[in-house]
Structure 1
Amino acid sequence: MSAQPSPQAPAEPPRRAGTAGETSAENPWPVRLLASKMDAYIARMPWTWVEGQVVQVSDRPGAHVVFLTLRDTDTDMSLTVTLTRRVLARLRAALPDGLRSGARVVVHAKPEFYAKRGTLSLSADDVRPVGVGELLARLEHLKRVLAAEGLFDPARKKPLPFLPRVVGLVCGRASAAERDVVDNARLRWPAVRFEVREVAVQGPAAVTEVAAALRELDALEEVDVVVLARGGGSVEDLLPFSNEALVRAVADARTPVVSAIGHEVDSPLLDLVADVRASTPTDAARRVVPDVAEELARVEQLRSRARRAVGARVEREEAALRALRSRPVLADPHVLVDAPAAEVARLRERARHGLEGRVHRAALEVERLRAAVRALSPRSTLLRGYAVVQVAAGEGAGRVVREPGDAPAGTALRVLLADGELAARAR
C-alpha cells in the first residue's frame, strides 16, 4: 500500500523589516509605516529655540491658532509655525513696528509631523523678537570671525579697471539707487554699458536674490566690475548686507565688487569685504568709470607737457651743436688732417734717407767683398801666366799634376789657363 503525499503547508508571508536599514526591494515599507515611524521619531524630539525671519502671517478670523512662515536667514528654506493668539498678541506688543515680513524672531517650539500630509511644522509656545542690540552684538561677533579668516585683508582686494567694458549692477526694483548709479555714470562716460539685475534688497528673500544676481554677473566674461547698490534704511533693513552667506559670496567673486549700501554713516559687513567701498550709489558711479571731460583735460595737459619737454630738448641739442661748430677744430676741419699728414711725410722722408744710407753702405760692402774674392780667386793667379795641369783621362782623371812623377810619359793632360784650356801629353 503506497504512502499518500502530505498536503503542502501554506507559505508564510515575509517578515516585515523592523528598521529602515533592513528594508529592501523585496521587503519594502509601505508609506504609512514610514510616516508612522517618522511621526514617532519626531515626537521624541525635545522643545528647542529656533531663529529665523518672518515671511508670512496667516491670521484667519475665528481661527484658534495662527500660522507663521519662518524662513532661514541664509538659505531658501522655511517652516510653518503654529501658535496661539495669546502668543501672537505678546509678540506684536514687543515689536515697535508690529509684526511684519522680514522681522527677526526666535521661537520656542516643538517639531510636529503630520503623517497624513507628510509635512513638518513647529508648534510654538513662545516667540520673541530679536532686538537691535542683540543683532548688533551678533554682527560684531561675525565681524571678528570673518576678520580672523582674512576676508577683510586689504591684500586680497582687487583693483578696479580703468574703463570697464560692462558694469554689473545689483539693485532694488525701480530704485533710486539704480538711477543714481546709471545716470551719474553716463554723465561721466556716456558710452558706459550696464548689466542690471533688479532684486529684493530687504526682507527674507534679499540675501538669496542678491547672492544669485552677483554670481550670475560674476560669471559673465564681459562684466569687469559689479556694483551692489541700495539706499539708506534702518539697521534691520540693511541686515541682509551683513549676512554671512552674502559676505562670503562677495569674497569668492572673481570680479571686483563695489559696495554702495546706504549712506555714509551706514557700515554693513559688505563694505569691509568688498574690493571698494563707496559712501553712496552716486559715489559708486564716480568710482567705476572715469570722467571723460577730466580725462580729455588730462590728455591735453600731458600733450602740452610732452610738447614743452620735446621743445626744451631740441633747444638744448641745438645749443650743443652750435657750441661744437664754434670750436676751432670744426671751424677749420683740415687742422685735424694737416698735422698728421706732415708727420707722415716727415717719417717717410726719414725712412727714405735711412733706407738709401743702408743700401749705399751695403753696396760698398759688396764691392769690398767682391775685390777680396777676386784677389783670392785662382783665376787671378792664372791671369799672371800660371796654369793648372790635370790628368785628362784614365784612373786619375781630374787629378792635379804637382810633380813629374804624377804624370808618366804618354799621360794625356789638360792644361787650364786663365781664358781657356789646352790638351797636352807628358814626355
Structure 2
Amino acid sequence: MKNSYTMPDNPLLQGIKVIGIGKHGSKPLPTDQIEAISAYLSAGGGIPIQKGAFYGSLLAKGPTEEEQRLLYGSGKEASLIYDSLCADAPADMREIGVKLLSKQYLSAEEARTLGGFLFSDAPGETFRGMAASMLRMRYETEEEYRGLMEAAASTYTPGFRDAQPAEGTLIQLAEPFDGVEHSYMITPVLARVFQQAGFPVVVSMGRSAGPKYTLNTRDIYHELAGRFMRQASDLAQPAPEFGWALDQEALSPALDQWVDRRRLIFKRPFLATLEKVLNPCKARILVTSVFHITYIEKMITLAGMAGFSGVIVFKRGVEGTLAPSIAKASGITCAVRQQGGAFMTQSFEASQDAFSAYRAGADAIVQDPTAEANAQLIRRFVSNGFTGNEDFDKRVNLATALYGQGLAWLRSNWPATA
C-alpha cells in the first residue's frame, strides 16, 4: 500500500503557501499574486474550504494596505467580512466566526461548539477553512484545545465510546500521520519492544493529510498484516506482535473526513496535533513526538487533558517520527503526573556516552521508501536481532535503549496510588 496525492494548484493555494505560515514568518503577498487571486475569485474560482483558509490566514496575519483590496465587506469590520465570506454557515455560528476573524480567543465551551460544527455535515465549508486556518495561525490556547478535544471525542464510533481502562499499563504510540519521505520507520518494532517489557500497546494512525504522502504508519501496519481495532474491547484479546493498530477511519469517520479537507488547505491545522493525543482506549502512557522543541510542554499538557498519567515526548526524531537520529541531536522528555495533578519531568539525550555504539556520522537518506521494503526490514530485525542495514539496526538499538531509559524513569517515579 502506498500513499499518493497530487495537490490541484490554483492562485488561492499559492497564496496560502505565502501567508499561512504562522505568527512569525508570513510575508506580504506580492502585487502580481494579489492580482492573480483577485482575477481568480472574480471569475468564480475557488474551492470553498480553500477560500476560507486563505482569508483566515490573511486576517490572522493582518492584511497590508494593498492586500485589503481582496477583502470582503468594508475591508475592516470582521462582522461584514464574515457575512460576505461565510453566508452559507449556520446562523448560530456567526458570533464565534466573527470572534475568530477578530483574532479573539474562544472559551472552552465556544471551542466545543465550534468543534461540533467542524466535525458535522452542516453546510459551511468556507467557515471550516477559515476557522482551521485562524486557529493554526495564532496558535490554539489550552481552553480551545480542551473544547476541541471534547468535540472530537463526541464523534467516536459506538465501539470506542465510554471505553473502560484496559488491564495493565496501556501505552499509546502516536507520531505524525503523514509519516516519512526519505527514511524507514521503526514504529512496529518499538511497539513490540514495549510489549516485551510488559506494556500492552495501541498505535494511533490514519490516512495521510499531507504534506508528506510517501509512507506512513498505517501503510506499514497494512503491509505487516497488523491487527486493526474495531472497538476498544478488542484490547481484552491477546496482544498482536506489533500492538493493536488504531485507525482514525474506524475510530471516527468525522475526523477521517477532515483528511480530504486538510489536503485542500495544504497547511497543518489544529488536528495534526490533536489527533495524536486523543485517548479513546484510556491508555495510561502516551509516547509521541514533536519536531519543534517548543511543542514539548504543549504535548504534555494536552496528554494530561486526554487522561494520560505518563508521557514520553520524542524531540527531533527523523522526519518528526518516533525514530531517533543516529547523527544529530535528539532525545526524550518524560513526564509523570504526581498526586497533586502536576507533571514532573525529566529529559534524556541520545548523545549520552552510553549510546555511542549506536551513533553514526550521518543518517541514511532513503530514496522512495516503500511499505514493502520497510516491512521486510522489520521482519528481519525481529527474527534475527539485526538486518545488515547498519543505519536501521543502529536506529532501532538506540531507540530501544533510549525509550527503555524513559520507561524505567516513569516506573520509578510513578505515584504509589496511581
Q: TM-score, normalised by structure 1?
A: 0.27
Return the structure number with greater helix share. 2
Greater Rg over alpha carbons, structure: 1
Of structures 1 and 2, the one scoring higher in RCO (CA 8 A, sep 6+) is 2
Structure having the larger proportion of residues in strand? 1
TM-score (ref. length: structure 2): 0.27
